[in-house]
Amino acid sequence: MMCALLCSTDVIAAISMVNYTEQPKLFSLLFGEGVVNDAVSIIIFNSVVNLKDAEVNASTGFRIILDFFLLSLLSLTIGIVFGALSSIILKYFRALTKDAVSECIFLFSFGYLCYVTAETLKQSGIIALLTCGIMMAHYSWYNLSPQGQ
């Protein structure tokens, strides 16, 4: 079962060969491909681990596929909710954006809260955290002070 985590293709070697300043699109494509591969590997691993005590029969493949999509959807939803919630809180509660330290503590705390919530609900905390980080980078960024940015 650990094979799903160990066999995901790692693009660190390819990324180390590409200079971001010379070829930013290629660097972004390689990095994105690595992130997607890792995310899919983690979700497949969690889907198979959920069936460790189940009896293998004809419907096992369908259960893995269903669990894969359910785990993906719920993990992404948790990340989107926490990312959107952080940007809304930063937008309407301007007292949190008075100094860069409190903004950083708020963002790190929200990311950790997202991870813990997903893990508590038996979802993928890493996928939820990745989605939350993307949402916060895209939306919360504009609600931060210039020092916090």
28 and 83 co-located in one domain: no
71 and 129 co-located in one domain: yes
65 and 119 co-located in one domain: yes
84 and 15 co-located in one domain: no
45 and 64 co-located in one domain: no
pTM of the model: 0.73
Q: Is residue 55 part of a domain?
A: no
Q: Is residue 54 part of a domain?
A: no
Question: Looking at this protein, which amino acid is placed at residue 116?
Answer: V
* Cα separation, 140 vs 6, whole angstroms: 34
pLDDT band at 47, cuts 50/70/90? Answer: confident
Q: What's the domain count of the chain?
A: 2
Which range of residues forms the domain containing residue 92? 60-149
Total length of the chain: 149
What are the pLDDT digits (tens) for 108-137? 888 899 999 998 998 888 889 888 988 888
* Cα separation, 95 vs 66, whole angstroms: 44
76 and 148 co-located in one domain: yes
79 and 19 co-located in one domain: no
50-65 burial code (b ≥16 CB/10 A, e <16): beeeeeeeeeeeeebe
- Tell me what percent of the residues of the chain surpass a pLDDT of 90: 14
